Every structure is written in C-alpha cells, then in structure tokens.
Amino acid sequence: MGTSVKRTTRTALAAPVLGLAALFASAAPALAADGATVADLKPVPGQPVDGAGGQGMVEISGTTLSFTLAAQGLLADAPHAAHIHFGADARHECPTAADNNAAALAGETNEGDHLTTTEGGPAYGEIVVSLTKSGDTSPKSGLAVDRFGVGDDIKYSRGDVQVSEEVAQAILSGQAVVVVHGVDYDGDGAYSAGDRGMSDLDPSLPGEATDPAICGVLNASQMGDMPSGGVSTGGGSTTGTEHAGLIGLGALAVAGGGAGLFLARRRTSTES
Ligand SMILES: [Cu+2]
C-alpha cells in the first residue's frame, strides 16, 4: 500500500513538469530576419522647417530593434516626438503637399497652412514604435513629450526595443517611415496654439507640438551611404535624458497652459 501511494505522488508530480516542457517546445522562435535600414529625414512639404533634416537608423534582429535618431534644425528648446509609422494600407511614403487636404480642424483657422499628423496618415500609417529616449516605446508613448529628444540638435540611440513580427518585416521591406514632429508655424519660438489651435491628437497639446516636421522612409538600399559609427548595439544611451526632459517640460508648460496638465497626467499613466 505504501508503494502505491508513492507511485501516485510521483505521477502527479511528473505531469506538470511534462506539461511545462511541452509548452516551451511549442513556443516556436520568431522568424529570424536581420537587417539594417536608414531613413534620410527631410522637411515635410509645406511645413515651415526649411533647412531641417536628420537621419533615422534602424537595425532589426528578429523582433528586436535598435535605433539611432538624429535631427537638426527643428524648433530649439522644444521636445520633438519621433516615431516609426507603418500601415498595411498606407502608401509607405512621406506626405506630399496633396495630403494637406483635410477640412479645418477645431481651432484651425486656415487648414491649408498646416499639414497635420492625421493628414499624413494615408502616406505613412499609424505609429508602430515610439522612438523615446527612455521607458515605453509602444504607440501608447506617441505623445510622451517628456521622453523625446529636445531642441535643434538631437541625437540618441537605444537598443532592445521589442516589436511585432509584422513591424519587423515592414521595416526590413522598406514600408516603414520615420517621422519627427514639432513645428513653429507662427515663429514665436515655442509651441503655442496660434492659428493652428490645439492638437487633434491630444486637445491639451498645441497642434504645433504634434504636427509632422521631417520625414523619411526606412530603406535598406541606402545602407551604402550610411556614415561610419552607425547604429550602436544595445544598452540605450540615455545620458542627460532627465535634464533634457525637464527642459522640454518647462518649455511646454510655459507655452501651452494645458500642456503642463497633459504632462502630469501622462507621467502617472506611463511611469510607475
Ligand atoms: Cu509620428
């Protein structure tokens, strides 16, 4: 009788162990796909960012992404949200002047003067990766303006960003687009409501803070032009992030009024 009990116990223990092993065996590794792409960032047509430019470099290893983003000539002392955009139904390109065709948005008195992020959607699709300097990189952080680069000379790198298989494939096949946001339509040196009004993406932010400024398609064929010291691996250099974030926070709070509230709310919801 004693042996019988022992046997039962052994069986009961063995079953879950086998189940766990089966689970691991069935979790197939992600389809291996590696590559490097570069986006040459140029002014979005019609936006007042003449002379601005930059480069987005993205490396993919399976479903792990690392990137370096550089942008020059955008509004000084202001945060610049930056993303990888993709949409299966999008045109996989940067907006043209013809995309500036939506009816006037709330608060927008002259719709022809502003190409909004929404108007650019048919060209580049939705946000699929938020190119933040720290923390979350999902679309949820698309307007986390306290975690993006600040000013007119931005450069930072990050590694270990996890993306879906679909997004990895889109990037490697030249269908993803890097967009850096933030323009100063009225030239007052800060993000303000002006005649653009508040953003259609977040009514507590000025539209100037979220409209697209420079843009480029991630393209593997441009790798020959890639400068030395390109995408660095892993780690993620976030040195100076806190300082830069504070500057951006101050600039927005002063400029926007409601923007300060937005930042406070954003913080509680994304950082724990
Ligand atoms: Cu974007």
Buried b (16+ CB within 10 A) or exposed e, 97-131: eebbeeeebebbeebeebbbbbbbbbbbbebbbbb
Q: Among 65-79, 141-155, 258-272, whose mean pLDDT is lowest?
A: 258-272
pLDDT at residue 35, as a whole number: 95
Q: Say how far apart CA 142 and CA 228 lie, in whole Å.
A: 30
pLDDT at residue 26, as a whole number: 47
Q: How far is the CA of 211 from the centre of ligand 1 (A)?
A: 8
Coarse DSSP helix, strand, coil percentages of the chain, rounded to the nearest 5 percent: 35, 25, 40
- Mean pLDDT score across all residues of the chain: 78
Q: How far is the CA of 170 from the centre of ligand 1 (A)?
A: 16
Q: Which residue is it, tokens 């069986």?
A: 11
Region 161-178 average pLDDT: 97
Query: Phi and psi of 167, rounded to 5°?
Result: -70, -40
Region 93-101 average pLDDT: 92
Whole-model pTM above 0.75?
no
pLDDT, greater one: 206 or 243: 206
CB distance 206 to 256 below 8 Å: yes
Q: How far is the CA of 178 from the centre of ligand 1 (A)?
A: 7
Residues 6+ apart with CB under 8 A from 85: 124, 125, 126, 127, 128, 176, 177, 178, 179
pLDDT category at 107 given cuts 50, 70, 90 is low
**Residues with CB in 5 Å of ion ligand 1:** 83, 179
pLDDT, greater one: 154 or 1: 154
pLDDT, greater one: 203 or 259: 203
Q: Say how far apart CA 174 and CA 91 lie, in whole Å.
A: 11
The half-sphere exposure of 226 on its side-chain side, counting CA atoms within 13 A, is: 22
Region 155-170 average pLDDT: 97
Residues 6+ apart with CB under 8 A from 3: none
pLDDT at residue 221, as a whole number: 59
pLDDT at residue 220, as a whole number: 87
Helices H, strands E: what count in the chain? 6, 10
Question: Is residue 17 over pLDDT 90?
Answer: no
pLDDT category at 112 given cuts 50, 70, 90 is confident
Q: How far is the CA of 6 from the centre of ligand 1 (A)?
A: 62
Q: How far is CA 233 from CA 157, 170, 258, in A?
A: 9, 21, 38
